[in-house]
Structures are given as structure tokens and as C-alpha cells.
Amino acid sequence: MIRKALAMTALFALAATAVLAQKVAQTPPMGWNSWNYFAEKVTDKDIRDSADQIADSGMRDAGYVYVNIDDTWEGQRDANGVIQSNSKFPDMKALADYVHSKGLKLGIYSSPGPQTCAGYAGSYGHEEQDAKTWAAWGVDYVKYDLCSYIRIMRNAHPNDPAAQMLMMISAYDKMAKALHATGRPIVLSLCQYGWDAPWEWAPALGGNLWRTTGDINARWDRIYTILSQQEGLQKYAGPDGPYGGHWNDPDMLEVGNGNLSLAENRSHFSMWAMLSAPLLAGNDLPHMKPEIRDILINRDVIAIDQDQLGKQASRVYSEGEVDVWKKQLSGGAVAIAVLNAGSSRYSSHPFHLDLAKLGLHGTQQATDLWTGKPIELKNDMPIELGTHDILLVRIANPK
């Protein structure tokens, strides 16, 4: 604990010298990332096609702005050390211009280590140079993945976790300062898997979002595990940090991927909205089914995520296999999510809602955000939910 306290003291000394920058991400970032669908096969054409799809499908108008290239775009450095894109991405400036022409923004990926997770060139020793290059290209978002820097930390301090932590913080601080110094408003996404509680130190450095867990995948048990791990992090999310918004990131959306049921897709999206999480889709946009599109562009649910108050939901109570979450919204409104996290259907023995546990008294007039219909919430009312399905409501005037 003493070593961690010393590391945190050093952190705030670093943050005190940070360069002030234009505020960004004052609501959780929304967009699309290439990794979940394309992985290492992503190309310039894929990014252009995805930008077209986001613009044409209604996603852009619903708030999806960032088109993020994940790993494997990187080429070699030239004689002066300037990073080049590889043959899959022949002209990054032209690509950024194309994405911008669609009313969208371009994101990119790197690592504080010498190599990315896929073995391509990282930013180690070239932080300021890379930041200037990305800004010149027109990049608007950087995902910075710890990857090979882990070996550097462990080799430098094999038996000193606190010193390793300080090295990691310093590496992210270095890139944050480099990005801020460009003068371009660029979102900084920390991808270091929630190690050493980034929610405690990332906002001071200029991090706008930080991963809270390891990687997500398109399986319900993994999605629910990650959801459960967000409890207790509510106070660290919000719109008003020194560099803009600062958000807990439970990883990218798997909506439309794998073999998730329609109910699981709907619940996944609902709960990421309740968490004020970044909404970064990762599905196959050209072949998106209408029902998946309808989930991703549900503006009532998106409004829960993008609410200006920026409050992350809390799990108020659980009963059996059902969780009940509550989120404070601007104007005094609240959102309530009732989630059947289990494998059985509540039909013959429905769940009964306890309004008193939610701080609510008497019948509540609400809106079901998946049907758009009004609904009355009464104490002890039975709620029947299918496997992994959800009831998500907004109460404009709770009492």
C-alpha cells in the first residue's frame, strides 16, 4: 500500500505538468471499431465501406461518429523514424479526409511498447513523433494498447509491482501530453485491461476512457461477467474532467456478433447504455440484419447512454437470477433496468418488482424503451422476462 501511495503521488506530479487541451468526449464516445469483425484483415477499403454504411444506415444520425482502425495498419518507420502505414492503407491522410467527408471521425491504434499486440510497430520511443503524424493525417481518436510494454515494465522491475505501475502510468502520460501538444482534439482511450485501477489515475493524465476488464467476446456469460465487474466504479465516470469526459470502458459492443440471441443483444446494448459506457459497435455493417440495426439505433436507449448528467447506473438489488439497476438522468428522471441474467424463463413464477428498494413510492408512469409504449410500474408487480431479456424503462417524473 505504501508503494502504491508513492506511485500515486508521483502520478499527480506528472499530471500537474500536463498540457491543457480542448475538451473531448463529454458524453461517452460512439462509433465503430474494426477488430471484432475484421481483426488483422482490415483494409483501407473496409474502413471506407464501413464509413459509408454508418452514414447510410442511420447510425451516424443516431450518434455513431468514430470509425476506428484497430491493430495491423502499421508499416515501417522511414529514415527519420516517422511511422508509415502498410500496403493495406496506402494513404492515411486521404482515408481520414474520406471519413471526414461523411461527417465522421477517424480513430487509430497503437501501443506504448515497441510492438502492438499483433506484432506491428508500436510507439515506444516515438511518442511525440507519432502524435504529430496522426494529427497531420487528421486522426480524432487513439486507442493505446499496453501489449509489449508489459515486458519492458517487468524486465525493469521484476519484483516491484508499484514501480511497474508507475512505469505504465508514465507511458500513458507521455502519449497524453504528446497528443495534447498537437493542438488537435483527440480522444485518448487507454487499453490496459483495468490493471492498477486506471479509473483512479487516468482522468488526471487526460485519458477519456479506460478499459475496466479483459477482452469481451460474443458470449452471454462473458458479457454478464464484465457487466457485474462495473459495480463500484460509478463515481469515476462523468462529463467534466480536466480534458473532457472520463468514462469506464467495459469494452466494445458485440451486438450482432456470434450466436447471441436477439434478447441477449438487446440486454447487452441496454446495459452498456445504463453504464454510460462508450458505444463502439464491432459488427459486420454491410450484412447487418434489420433487427440488429434497430437495436443499435434505438434513440431512446442511446439517450440513456448519452444523458448529459453522465451518471453511471448502480445495481440496486438482485433476487434470484434477476438484477435491478437504476440510473439517475438529467432533469430528475431515472432509468430502471430489470435484467433476467439467468437461463430460465420467468413465466409461471414471475419476478416481483420492489419499488421501495429503488427509492420509489406509489405507481410510476414510465416508458418502455424497447416498445416505445407507456407502462405503469406498481409495487410488487409481476414482470415476466425471457432468458437473458430485459425491461428497460425511463421514468420522467419519479415519485
The pLDDT tens digits of the residues spanning 152-210 come to 999 999 999 999 999 999 999 999 999 999 999 999 999 999 999 999 999 999 999 99
For residue range 32-68, list pLDDT tens digits in order: 999 999 999 999 999 999 999 999 999 999 999 999 9
CATH code, residues 2-305: 3.20.20.70
Residue type, 187: V
- Predicted confidence at residue 62, as pLDDT, reads 98
User: φ and ψ at 347, to 5 degrees?
Assistant: -120, -60
Number of helical H runs and strand E runs in the chain = 13, 19
The DSSP code sequence of 200-225 is HHHHHHT-SEEE-SS---S-HHHHHH
Q: Which helix (H) or strand (E) holds 11?
A: helix 2-16
Whether 1 shows a pLDDT value over 60: the answer reads no
The answer on pLDDT for 5 being more than 70 is no
pLDDT per residue as tens digits for the range 333-348: 999 999 999 876 654 4
| Side-chain-facing half-sphere of 37: CA atoms under 13 Å | 23
Radius of gyration (Cα) for the chain, nearest Å?
22
Nearest to 335 by CA among 279, 295, 386, 391: 391
Alpha helices in 39-148 (DSSP H): 44-56, 59-62, 92-101, 127-137
2-305 matches 314-395 in fold: no
230 Cβ partners below 8 Å, 6+ apart? 212, 248, 250, 275, 312
* Per-residue model confidence (pLDDT) at position 343: 78
pLDDT tens-digit map of 89-128: 999 999 999 999 999 999 999 999 999 999 999 999 999 9
Cα(145)–Cα(270) distance, integer angstroms = 27
Q: CA torsion, points 177, 181, 186, 189, in degrees to nearest 10? A: -10
Grid coordinates given for 155? 524486465
- Say which of 145, 173, 196, 323 is annotated catalytic: 145
Which stretch of DSSP H or E encloses residue 352? strand 351-352
Give mean pLDDT, residues 367-383. 96
| pTM tops 0.85 | yes
Confirm if 163 and 196 have CB atoms less than 8 A apart.
no
Q: Is the pLDDT of residue 14 over 90?
A: no
Whole-Å CA distances, 163 to 145, 160, 177: 19, 5, 21
Give, for 189, the enclosing helix (H) or strand (E): strand 187-191
**pLDDT the model gives residue 11:** 55
CA-based nearest residue to 364, from 377, 383, 375? 377
Give the burial class of 214: count Cβ atoms within 10 A of its Cβ; 0-12 exposed, 13-18 middle, 19 or more buried: middle
Our answer to whether residue 145 is catalytic in this structure is yes
| Cβ-based neighbours of 155, under 8 Å, separated by 6 or more | none
Ordered by start, the domain boundaries in the chain are: 2-305, 314-395
How many other C-beta atoms are found inside a 10 Å radius of the C-beta of residue 2?
Answer: 7
How far apart CA 122 and CA 112 sit, in angstroms, is 6
Q: In angstroms, rounded to a whole number, what is the distance separating the alpha carbons of residues 212 and 224?
A: 14
What integer is the mean pLDDT of 213-220?
97
Distance CA 94, CA 92 (A): 5
Q: Is it the case that residue 305 has pLDDT exceeding 50? A: yes
| Catalytic residue (one of 49, 61, 97, 215) | 215
20 pLDDT above the threshold of 60: no
Tell the CATH topology of 314-395.
Answer: Immunoglobulin-like (2.60.40)
* pLDDT of the residue at 346: 57
Task: For 249-268, write each residue's pLDDT tens digit.
Answer: 999 999 999 999 999 999 99
Chain centroid, CA 93 distance in Å: 25
The pLDDT value given to residue 355: 97
Q: How far apart are CA 8 and CA 6, in angstroms?
A: 5
User: How many CA atoms lie less than 13 Å away from 247 in the CB half-sphere?
Assistant: 36
What is the per-residue pLDDT across 234-248, written as a single tens digit (0 to 9) for each?
999 999 888 899 999
Residue with cell 438529467: 330
